[in-house]
Structure 1
Amino acid sequence: MVAPSKLSQVFSYQNWVHAVSGAAGGCIAMSTFYPLDTVRSRLQLEEAGEVRSTKQMIKEIVLGEGFLSLYRGLGPVLQSLCISNFVYFYTFHALKAVTSNGARSQQSALKDLLLGCIAGIINVLTTTPFWVVNTRLRMRNVAGTSDEVNKHYKSLVEGLQYVAKTEGYAGLWSGTIPSLMLVSNPALQFMMYELLKRHIMTFTGGEVGSLGFFFIGAIAKAFATVLTYPLQLVQTKLRHRSKETAAAPSTSRQASGQRTESTLQMMISILQHTGVRGLFRGLEAKILQTVLTAALMFMAYEKISSTVGLLLKRNA
């Protein structure tokens, strides 16, 4: 049985502040740099052939589909991101509070990495359906996209209902295996962020400005992204391809087995057709987008959480 003191640490108001601040910061950052995320998704889904740069892809999208197409699917992405960030920030800080009892001396990089992995697993299992539908929503009305996607993926809710109806509930968790492998990405990011933050706060006597948080977030995300990018590429391709290969309903075991095999087969196929370079297709856009987004997210998160903290102290 969980002790009352531990429960109070899990359901503390401070954890809610962290979660809301993380969700708000993520939405602010994604709204700002969303066009780069659109380009990154397109580059990842390209097959072997001509390798286009971020600049070339932006030009092609704007000229062929219009400027607003760079923001296609922003609404559902913000909905999913808000939920995902809330779950991750809340879980991470709740686990951190329970295991350290608020003592900074008990925090370490290895501990942050472990807590980040646990928070990531919980996040993946609860929010994967939203991201599965998001990947398809963003490809609506894009050349080469099937009529099925254009017709049935008009909103997040409609997309969730359609996937559940045509592919079964297992289809909503398409790409879960590479996603679970990718819990290392936010875990590495938070480990590096917390590590740099602790060292800088020790060096400056506890003071870190907004610009400092921006650069800490950028470095942490760049570190995590480069190490885990090949799995992110496979994840994106799996989520997009499952809509095209969905056939008759199958048992959860068969579907799960198929996706497990597809993960390995796709990795091998990419290596065979495009070499190691193919595993990093779209990395330029990903690094640019993800580093800027994470940097702005952490800066906004710290600003929002500290402001709310000051308001709480003032009203205490």
Structure 2
Amino acid sequence: MLIGTDKKKFYVVGAGLFTGVTVALYPVSVVKTRLQVASKDTLERSALSVVKGLLKTDGIRGLYKGFLTVMTGTIPTRIIFLTALETTKVASLRMLEPFRLSDTTQTAISNGLAGMTSSLLAQAMFVPIDVVSQKLMVQGYSGHTQYTGGLDVARKVLRSDGIRGLYRGFGLSVMTYVPSSAVWWASYGSSKHYLWRILGDNSGEEGTPSLLKIMLVQATGGIIAGATASSITTPLDTIKTRLQVTGLEKKISVKQVVKDLILEDGWKGLYRGLGPRFFSMSAWGTSMILAYEYLKRVCAKDEDV
């Protein structure tokens, strides 16, 4: 578990770094969520119009609807995610050693397994936070209920549906985020490895790669991973979001959500919010991976050789 790493420093510094990234990119999640739940009669159906509408009615605060709820669950969720990620990655590499795969393939598989496992474990804590925060994100938009805060949402959901209500869309959430995380980390690991082959990794020579070169490879890998994952999993994310934010008085099935989306916009309805989601996954992924790789460097223990 996080071998060669100062665990306390890893979690404390990591919490600060990921909080900063969340603050910077949170508005994109609000815009994406609103686009995904918009009805055919909603006037604000582009990212720009959603932003203008939020700024007009609530100011900058409108771009951070549900933010406090998300931050409450983000830190423990990230701890679970990062611990499982590092642990599974090391175990996967050891497991794959006898198969004598190419370095690129081995990296892709181990990263993919690590991303899948860590995301699966994190969902148990993340889904209730996701349900509450998304209801706050869309309140007052396209006819959705108004709430006084995260506790008000949780109280009303529990009163209406019990604990099951806070896990509404859990299956779809797992189906969305687990493959998404697996694809993201597999794409990132393999693309980064491939980029180093093209650029030439001279870490074994006298000079090591410059920090700028390292960051460029990591950032490019993050963008490629974000583009791949968002393209594959956006339809599931759109369905999941609609299912989770449906009014408490309405019971709706996945089949009905798909029918409604296709009826309103054709098959492209399943890709609502693709632009913001692609930007969010690429920007978040790039920022997160730079922070993550930096975190591993600054938290590495000095060991005597």
Report if TM-score (shorter chain) is over 0.5. Answer: yes
Local SS of the residue matching 1:107: helix
Aligned 1:111-130 pairs, distance under 5 A? 111-130=110-129
Paired residues of 1:18 and 1:93 also in contact (CA < 8 A): no
Q: Deviations over 1:225-261 (max 9, x none)?
A: 0111011001111110153426xxxxxxxxxxxx7xx
Letter in 2 for 1:233: T
Structure 2 residue 261 is matched with structure 1 residue 267: no
Measured in 1, the distance between the counterparts of 2:303 and 2:15 equals 24
Query: Which ranges in structure 2 are unaligned for 5 or more consecutive residues?
Result: 204-208
Task: Specify the alignment match of 2:166 in structure 1.
Answer: 172
Measured in 2, the distance between the counterparts of 1:32 and 1:232 equals 21
Q: Which is further off, 163-172 or 129-138?
A: 163-172
Letter in 1 for 2:172: P
Task: Specify the alignment match of 1:291 in structure 2.
Answer: 282
How many Å apart are 1:18 and its aligned residue? 6.4
Measured in 1, the distance between the counterparts of 2:294 and 2:2 equals 22
Task: Specify the alignment match of 1:216 in structure 2.
Answer: 221
Superposition RMSD in Å: 3.0
Structure 2 residue 298 is matched with structure 1 residue 301: no
Task: Specify the alignment match of 2:37 in structure 1.
Answer: 45
Paired residues of 1:130 and 1:160 also in contact (CA < 8 A): no
Measured in 2, the distance between the counterparts of 1:265 and 1:141 equals 23
Paired residues of 1:24 and 1:82 also in contact (CA < 8 A): no
Instruction: Name which of 235, 241, 256 aligns with 1:236.
Output: 241
Residues 1:214 and 1:239: Cα distance change in structure 2 (over 3 Å) = same
Local SS of the residue matching 1:117: helix
Local SS of the residue matching 1:243: coil
Residues 1:24 and 1:224: Cα distance change in structure 2 (over 3 Å) = farther
Paired residues of 1:83 and 1:127 also in contact (CA < 8 A): no
Query: Which ranges in structure 1 are unaligned for 5 or more consecutive residues?
Result: 1-9, 247-258
Identity %: 22
Measured in 2, the distance between the counterparts of 1:295 and 1:194 equals 13
Paired residues of 1:19 and 1:90 also in contact (CA < 8 A): no
Residues 1:107 and 1:53: Cα distance change in structure 2 (over 3 Å) = same
Task: Specify the alignment match of 1:277 in structure 2.
Answer: 268
Residues 1:273 and 1:59: Cα distance change in structure 2 (over 3 Å) = closer
Measured in 2, the distance between the counterparts of 1:141 and 1:187 equals 35
Q: Which is further off, 163-172 or 107-116?
A: 107-116
Paired residues of 2:11 and 2:79 also in contact (CA < 8 A): yes
Structure 1-normalised TM-score?
0.79
Structure 2 residue 24 is matched with structure 1 residue 32: yes
Structure 2-normalised TM-score?
0.81
